[in-house]
Structure 1
Amino acid sequence: MHTVPDGVEVVASRERARRLGSPPLLVLDAVTGFLDAHGIGSGPLAWQRIGDGHSNVTYLIERGGESVVLRRGPRPPLPKSTHDMVREARIQRILHGHGVPVPEILAVCTDEDVLGVPFYLMSRLDGTVVTDAIPAHLSPAAERRATSEAVVDTLVALHGIDVTRGELASLGRPEGYLRRQVDRFRGLWEVNTTRSLPAVERISDWLARHLPASQAASVVHGDYRMGNLMFAPRAPARVLAILDWEMATLGDPLADLGYLTATWSEAGRPTTPLELTTVTRSPGYLTQRQMAERYRSRTGLDLTPLPWYQTLALWKAAIFCEAIYTRWRRGERPDDTTFGPSLETGVPRLLERAGQYADLTATARRR
């Protein structure tokens, strides 16, 4: 934990923040005042950046024996209708009431004068997020399998919630979800890139021509992967919380399954920038195919069109990552020295993998 600012990402005061050319992400006196207003801790605070996210930013805040987690968007300017922390907090509050494992939302700040963007505070959970190292208690072969199964079963439970009544029904319009996804992200590419990658248009045309009929309506997390799950600190494998609800809405549940399987690391498959939990390349974890079969056996949904959803997932990911790459090139991500520059080749790799799910490479060869 840090008890002093680093002078760029985190500063001690609003006065110091005003003198910087690029706004900081955390202003300690502003956060202290917000904590005071909500009766959270006392005295000086300590902070630590946590999580592997490349979009929104999360900090662990400790103060007077109390620990909370602060989540905010990146530095402005922000693309329209993105990084909506107020909506993200509201979604979690609603889902908490339906038994979905999410952190408790403690406070929401809509006043952009505090940190420059809205943010919220949530409870700190004692758990483990699995990314590039296997925790000891989840390392035995049986626990590796159980971990994979918990990932699928938690998604099945989320998709089983009735979204037709109450506050949940206000979170989105399931009808036409897939068409809107294709149209929206096609438009986002045009405003978030400075280069020509013809595969984007080729894949978007294929998606539009082969649009499947949705079999069900559910909460769609939008970024459902193992790195966005917190597991209990002791065996057996159990999901304590689903994290990062920025992309959540109501729509087609197979969109989540397509994303989960398409980004799932598996031995023998090529890597992409979305491979954020590399441990599942190790023996003992379920394969993409096994995970899809477990999901099918528990939901009864027809997975014949799953390659379409996997294509959509990686195509969207490429467009999202291109926005990050463009922001990095413009100097809007000064702390990013690895992920942003890697996307020069990473985005084309995502598009290539998306084309493989759509079998566009084979189609191009047959022409």
Structure 2
Amino acid sequence: MTSKEYTDRLVDEGALTDYLEAELGPADEYSVERFSGGHSNETLFVTWGDYDLVLRRPPPGETADSAHDVIREHHVMDALQETDVRVPTTVLACDDHDLIGSDFYVMEQEKGVVLRDEEPDRFTDPDTRRRVGAELIDRLAEIHTVDYEAVRLEGFGRPEGYTERQVDRWHQQLEWAFEVTAKERAIPPLDDVHSWLAANVPDSHPHALVHGDYKLDNVIFGSEDPPEIAGIVDWEMSTLGDPRSDLAWLLTYWRDADDPPCAIPELVPTFTDREGYPTKADIVDRYEAATDVTFEHEQFYRALAVYKLAAICEMFFRRHLEGNADNPMYPKMRERVPAMADWAVRIIEGDEPV
């Protein structure tokens, strides 16, 4: 399948034209371009007259239950518009599948820089790196300290029992992926990790709005110096739950200088071990000071984060095997997911402390 054929599966440009014209008025300029850097929900850049927009929709084909809920993603971002949490401006949301074949929403495009594969020159001095780390942690603290009841999110999730449900949820997502991928190879250590997690769920945890996918390449830095985060994106897994899970997820995507080789270098930045960036221990210290939340049971949360990442990547692998993806990274999950299983085991056994 060519990239053009895949993009055509994502959006009926004629139907989208009619919808945008009805909602936003006519436009002299109209174009749609798929963003190829994402790995979950699909992102398309839409030019509509003077509007620079982003459209988000699920991937085509069958998806795991509860995954890729873009209307939920729109709801939380819309609720946060008037808070200190930095989110792009929401524009439209649509659950009429007759238009492009799925739910979708539209937001204004946040212009800026995303740190993903490498640092732009502007970000390479140690002071700027320190600022990047501080911004990342402080903006996460703002998410976790927002008054979610005051912004109409009190029914957005069930924070009680969230952590236990996370263990069950990602086990179910893995089982869904294994319906197809198990024919390719088995990953026995993931069964051991699941059993350990199920037996070691903390008895209680703080309650907060959680992002669910908070990491360096899901924030956009603006053009000012020193750099500030202008927008936080990819809220599809957001809910009310346990803030320690977000912190552990951020640490999963952060490398210290003495870390062992990365289990999935396609997703984890390799430059955070350079001079100026905080260490994982520094991140925990600053986060605890900003939120008054202590990172208790850190082995559990970090192992759960890697288990979650393994589940997501195994779902990628299923989508690849079924022909429902156009991403050159997905075939590599044949080897990467077993490596992540070993990573989770090392955390559980205390071989990879913070």
Q: TM-score, normalised by structure 2?
A: 0.91
Q: Which residue of 2 aligns with 1:263?
A: 253
**Alignment partner of 1:10 is 2:7:** yes
> 1:1-367 to 2 correspondence within 5 Å?
7-11=4-8, 24-39=9-24, 42-50=27-35, 52-164=37-149, 167-193=152-178, 194-195=181-182, 196-269=186-259, 270-273=261-264, 275-333=267-325, 335-336=326-327, 338-359=328-349
In the TM superposition, residue 214 of structure 1 has moved relative to its aligned partner by 3.5
- Conserved? CA contact 2:262–2:268, under 8 Å: no
1:76, CA displacement in angstroms? 2.1
Deviations for 1:60-100, whole angstroms, at most 9, x for unmatched residues? 11133321111111002222222111111011111223331
- Assess if the C-alpha contact under 8 Å between 2:81 and 2:89 holds in 1: yes
Distance of 2:204 and 2:305 partners within structure 1? 16
Q: Give the structure, 1 or 2, with the largest relative contact order (CA under 8 Å, sep 6 or more).
A: 2
Partner of 1:174, secondary structure, is coil
* Aligned residues of 1:199 and 1:351 also touching (Cα < 8 A): yes
Query: Which AA in structure 1 matches 2:168?
Result: D
How many residues are matched? 344
Structure 1 stretch displaced more, 351-360 or 223-232: 351-360
* SS of corresponding position for 2:5: coil
Local SS of the residue matching 2:52: strand
CA apart distance, 1:162:
2.5
Stretch deviating more after TM superposition (322-331 or 274-283) = 274-283
CA distance in 1, matches of 2:276, 2:156: 37
Deviates more, 1:257-266 or 1:40-49: 40-49
Structure 1 position 185, deviation (Å): 1.7
RMSD after superposition:
2.0
Query: 1:18 — aligned with what?
Result: none
Residues 289/68 of structure 1: CA separation in 2 closer, same or farther (3 Å cut): same
Cα pair 2:87 2:232 within 8 Å, conserved: yes
Taking the aligned partners of 1:164 and 1:27, their CA distance within structure 2 comes to 38
Q: Is residue 10–residue 28 contact of structure 1 (8 Å, CA) maintained in 2?
A: no
Is the partner of 1:279 in helix, strand or coil?
A: coil
Q: Determine what percentage of the aligned residue pairs are the same residue.
A: 32
Residues 188-230 of structure 1 deviation map (CA, whole Å, 9 limit, x = unaligned) = 2222113221111111111111112334110111111010001
Partner of 1:17: none
Which range moved further: 230-239 or 268-277? 268-277
Question: Which whole-Å deviations, capped at 9, do the CAs of 1:241-278 have from their partners, x for residues lacking one?
Answer: 11000000111100000110122133342213373433
- Cα distance change of structure 1 residues 70 and 44 upon mapping to structure 2, 3 Å threshold: same
Whichever residue aligns with residue 191 of structure 1, its letter is W
2:96 and 2:324 map into 1 onto residues whose CA distance is 22
Structure 1 residue runs of 5 or longer lacking an equivalent are 12-23, 363-367
Amino acid at match of 1:315: Y
Q: Return closer, same or farther for 1:172/1:6 CA change in 2, 3 Å cut-off.
A: closer
Q: 1:87 to 1:304 in 2, by over 3 A?
A: closer
8 Å Cα contact 1:131-1:278 kept in structure 2: no
Identify the range of structure 1 (240-249 vs 107-116) with the bigger mean alpha-carbon deviation. Answer: 107-116
What is the rounded CA distance, in whole Å, between the counterparts of 2:231 and 2:41 in structure 1?
18
Letter in 1 for 2:152: E
Amino acid at match of 2:320: W
Cα drift, residue 166 of structure 1: 5.5
Structure 1 residues 81, 127: CA separation in 2 closer, same or farther (over 3 Å shift)? same
Amino acid at match of 1:272: A
2:173 aligned partner, one-letter code: L
* SS of structure 1 residue aligned to 2:231: strand
Partner SS, residue 271 of structure 1: coil
State the distance in 2 between where 1:332 and 1:349 align: 24
Q: Kindly tell me: are residues 41 and 285 of structure 1, through their superposed partners in 2, closer, same or farther at Cα, counting changes over 3 Å?
A: farther
1:314 maps to amino acid: V
Going from structure 1 to structure 2, the CA distance change for 1:351 and 1:91 (only over 3 Å counts) comes to: same
Over 3 Å counting, the alpha-carbon distance change for 1:6 and 1:329 in structure 2 is closer
